[in-house]
Structure 1
Amino acid sequence: MNVHFKYEKNIQIEHLETLYNDVQWYAYTQDLAVLQTAITQSLDVLTAWDGEELVGLVRVVGDGLTILYIQDILILNAYQNQGIATQLMQQILEKYHHIRQKVLLTEEAADVRHFYEKNGFTSCDQGSLVAFAQVR
């Protein structure tokens, strides 16, 4: 395995479909044109590749000055638990270190909580913040 990283928004739809389906994020792949447009219109996208295979990505949205929202971070199942997600997260956080407010919304699971906490995030249920979401 020789994973390399690159900032890339123009990703072939087949690569996106494979990655998102592999992690069972089917809501994204129901309309591939919307997914591809969302990727290209994101503030930034950092990808992980093993040769010509897209094995992971982190996608962020926001204004790039005062708020950064980590929208997606996903790794092919066969490549999980190898530090790729951590590298993606660290690189994107370093690039946007100047932004005070970094936010994300994710599912509750022990391994998910551990991942974000080790990357410097604090759950809103453990501090003075409150989080609200409306998902349809």
Structure 2
Amino acid sequence: MNITYRSDFTPDTQLISDLYNSSGINRPTDDHERIEKMYANSNLVVSAWDGEKLIGIARSLTDFCYICYLSDLAVRKEYQKEGIGRQLIALTREIIGEQTMLLLLSAPSAMDYYPKVGFEKAENAFMIRRTR
């Protein structure tokens, strides 16, 4: 397996939707316009490839100096537990730099994963949920 990582472009929307469906992440994959907007308005995308196959992605919003919100981390099911998610996080951290905090909201099914890759649980967060 020869995995390569890229941060110089955003993959095609259909490839992203297929990856999300394969990974188990809950995203509106039937709404291609919404997925396209999600990526058009994100300013840091790191992707993982096995040849021409998109196998992982980390999508973030950041100011590159204080805070970075890691809004999506997805790896195809058949590639999970191979260190790809960990590498996507490491590359995101490398790009944003040491002075920038990396923050995320975890899906309930991933709550045990994030402490294993260096995140600490925050008890001081608030949110207003989306209505659709």
Mind listing any 5+ residue stretches in structure 2 that lack a counterpart? none
Deviations 1:54-74 (A, max 9, x none): 000001102222210000000
Maintained 8 Å contact 1:57/1:88? yes
Shift of 1:121: 1.5
SS of the residue aligned with 1:28?
coil
TM-score between both structures, scaled by the size of structure 2: 0.86
Indicate the residue corresponding to 2:30 in structure 1: 30
Indicate the residue corresponding to 1:91 in structure 2: 91
Moved more, 31-40 or 113-122: 113-122
Mind listing any 5+ residue stretches in structure 1 that lack a counterpart? none
Structure having the larger proportion of residues in helix: 1
Shift of 1:26: 4.9
TM-score between both structures, scaled by the size of structure 1: 0.84
Maintained 8 Å contact 1:43/1:64? no
What is the CA–CA distance in structure 2 between the aligned matches of 1:33 and 1:25, rounded to whole Å? 18
Deviations 1:106-126 (A, max 9, x none): 1234xx33432233221014x
Stretches (4+) displaced over 3 A: 24-27
The size of the alignment, in residue pairs, is 130
RMSD between superposed Cα atoms in Å: 1.8
Indicate the residue corresponding to 2:49 in structure 1: 49
Shift of 1:4: 0.6
